[in-house]
């Protein structure tokens, strides 16, 4: 049995979605982003940083989402570009570029949501990180010109990893002028695998608003 430790709306959704796309049987263990359950000794034994995802699979525990995605693709032989294939370098590039988007999303989430008092937040950081995220998504917009998915061969795990960054990114950076990304998001959200993952995501507790604008200068 594969067991995914997950928080609603967290980066672990990428693994949840991937598992659904792969059609693998798995169990979801729900955690809260805001209580102390992920600081318990039991959970820290699974994920030393006290974060999700943590994946119990094949007699081991993995706790880094990018590594989990690559491991599942490699061991299950699905939704990837295998070593030696033409698109391998491109697949790896997008997989790791997804973490660049993730860094900016984490900073924006920290500023807008985790830091609850206005005096804790930095309007400068909010504006800067929103712009940086927009620049990341613009890279994807250019790459998607003339194609439906990041790889010409079709949908793969990197559409999940970077695509979820675009879905969340739209809460912080307007996608105006990024017609390719907008259409890509629509295609992703229409996929049955995405819909099944969304149904198992849990009650929203991180992002309660559709859009979090950067403060005006």
Half-sphere exposure of 171 (CA within 13 A, CB side): 17
Strands (E), the chain: 2-7, 26-31, 54-57, 60-62
At residue 216, does pLDDT exceed 90?
A: no
Distances (CA, A) of 61 to 46, 90, 166: 6, 27, 28
Phi, psi torsion values for 6, nearest 5 degrees = -145, 145
Domains of the chain, CATH where assigned? 2-76 (3.40.30.10), 88-191 (1.20.1050.10)
The pLDDT assigned to 215 comes to 87
pLDDT digits (tens, 9 = 90+) for 62-81: 999 999 999 999 999 999 99
pLDDT digits (tens, 9 = 90+) for 149-183: 999 999 999 999 999 999 999 999 999 999 999 99
Q: Does the structure show a pLDDT above 80 at 113?
A: yes
CA distance 53 to 16: 9
Q: What is the pTM of this model?
A: 0.96
Residue 34 has pLDDT above 80, yes or no: yes
217 pLDDT above the threshold of 80? no
Q: What is the pLDDT of residues 177-192, one digit of tens each?
A: 999 999 999 999 999 9
pLDDT at 37: 87
């Amino acid at each position: 049995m594969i067991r995914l430790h997950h928080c609603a709306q967290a980066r672990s959704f990428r693994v949840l979605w991937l598992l659904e796309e792969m059609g693998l049987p798995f169990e979801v263990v729900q955690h809260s982003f805001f209580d102390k359950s992920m600081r318990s000794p039991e959970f820290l034994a699974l994920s030393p940083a006290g974060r999700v995802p943590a994946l119990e699979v094949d007699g081991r525990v993995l706790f880094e989402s990018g590594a989990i995605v690559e491991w599942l693709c490699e061991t299950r032989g699905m939704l990837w570009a295998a070593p030696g294939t033409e698109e391998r370098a491109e697949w790896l590039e997008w997989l790791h570029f997804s973490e660049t988007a993730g860094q900016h999303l984490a900073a924006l989430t920290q500023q807008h949501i985790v830091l609850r008092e206005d005096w804790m937040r930095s309007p400068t950081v909010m504006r800067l990180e929103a712009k940086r995220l927009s620049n990341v998504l613009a890279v994807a917009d250019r790459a998607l010109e003339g194609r439906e998915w990041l790889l010409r061969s079709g949908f793969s795990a990197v559409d999940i990893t970077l695509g979820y960054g675009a879905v969340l990114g739209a809460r912080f950076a307007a996608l105006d002028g990024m017609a390719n990304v907008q259409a890509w998001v629509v295609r992703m959200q229409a996929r049955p695998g995405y819909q099944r993952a969304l149904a198992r995501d849990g009650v929203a507790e991180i992002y309660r608003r559709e859009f979090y604008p950067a403060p005006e200068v």
